[in-house]
Amino acid sequence: MAKTALERKRRVDVNRLSVETESQALPLLEIRSLTTTFPGEHRTFAAVNDVSLTVRAGRVTALVGESGSGKSATALSVMGLIDAPGRIEAGEIRLGGIDLRGLSKKSLQASRGREMAMIFQDPVQALNPVIPIGRQLTETIRRHRSNVKRAEARRIAIEQLRRAGLDDAERLMSAYAFELSGGMCQRIMIALALVSGAKLLIADEPTTALDVSVQAFILRELDRVRREDNVGILLITHDLGVVAELADDLYVMRAGRIVEYGEAAEVFDNPRHVYTQELLDSRL
């Protein structure tokens, strides 16, 4: 696994010589000293504690760490989806240079649709219960590409559902989320995120609870949008095989803090923090 990552790194180093990839390396998402708290029984508890993290365009940044370390809370903070009484207490979250914390609720919502999309651990959160699947897809496609006609958007939507392993795509277009299984909702959510045209994609355990062929599809698609659309991806995962395969950069989180970060290949080959070594050894 480490070898694959190392080979990737070499390829990336060679690419850096070209001007094109120079622009890919621009910081897309910059999190600085983010602290997000939830009220505890005795005192507030910092699920995210002074976290700084950068996601670059055209690169996959993996965030790993044991269960409860604050990975999802970090992602939800970026998306503006921390619900009260939880709150962002301090820090900056910049997307394309714009401070998301300074945006109104409305602007943040618009940005969530257009510039950043998230594949959730729990697909039920992502799909609108009162709008048919097909309309959610076609509206997302047309919001992103204004010159696409309705029929063309429908064609793209059906194709994307098929690619996500949903054979009965035509029928699914008129279905509602509650009529479908969790696994189907998960695949639809991924299709939705991939057609959104977002520059930042946050994928929180995108392949958990899916069968192997769909897992492979998702990883291929993440790799494709990274390469072809220059999308920056924040990938939260327990699967170190996936990290070795896909990640350019790697952050290791523990108890709300980043304990180690660097180029993925480097961290794999030379983990500095004892917790990272344990994580690599245990293949959590």
Ligand X SMILES: Nc1ncnc2c1ncn2[C@@H]1O[C@H](COP(=O)(O)OP(=O)(O)OP(=O)(O)O)[C@@H](O)[C@H]1O
Q: Provide the binding-site residues for ligand X, judged by CB under 6 A.
A: 38, 47, 65, 67-73, 86
* 136 is an interface residue for Ni ion by CB under 5 A: no
* 77 is an interface residue for Ni ion by CB under 5 A: no
Contacting range for Ni ion; rule: CB under 5 A; set: 69-77, 189-197, 245-253, 276-284: 69-77
- Torsions phi, psi of 220, nearest 5? -60, -40
Beta strands in 39-158, from DSSP E residues, in sequence order: 45-56, 60-64, 87-95, 98-99, 116-119
> For residues 95 and 253, which CB has a smaller minimum distance to ligand X in the complex?
253
Question: What is the maximal distance between C-alpha atoms in the chain?
Answer: 57
Q: How far is the CB of 63 from Ni ion (least distance, A)?
A: 10
**Best CA proximity match to 195, nearest among 259, 130, 119:** 119
Q: CA 191, 169, 211, 8: dihedral to nearest 10 degrees?
A: -40
> For residues 61 and 72, which CB has a smaller minimum distance to Ni ion in the complex?
72
> For residues 67 and 147, which CB has a smaller minimum distance to ligand X in the complex?
67
176 binds, among ligand X, Ni ion, none (CB under 5 to 8 A by kind): none
> For residues 35 and 72, which CB has a smaller minimum distance to ligand X in the complex?
72
Q: How far is the CB of 75 from Ni ion (least distance, A)?
A: 8
Site for Ni ion (CB under 5 A): which residue of 37, 72, 186, 276? 72
> For residues 68 and 241, which CB has a smaller minimum distance to ligand X in the complex?
68
Contacting range for Ni ion; rule: CB under 5 A; set: 67-75, 124-132, 193-201, 266-274: 67-75
> For residues 31 and 153, which CB has a smaller minimum distance to ligand X in the complex?
31
Residues 6 or more apart whose Cβ sits within 8 Å of residue 72: 121, 204, 236
SS3 42: coil
Q: How far is the CB of 121 from Ni ion (least distance, A)?
A: 6
* 230 is an interface residue for Ni ion by CB under 5 A: no
206 binds, among Ni ion, ligand X, none (CB under 5 to 8 A by kind): none
Q: For binding to Ni ion (CB under 5 A), which residues are involved?
A: 71-72
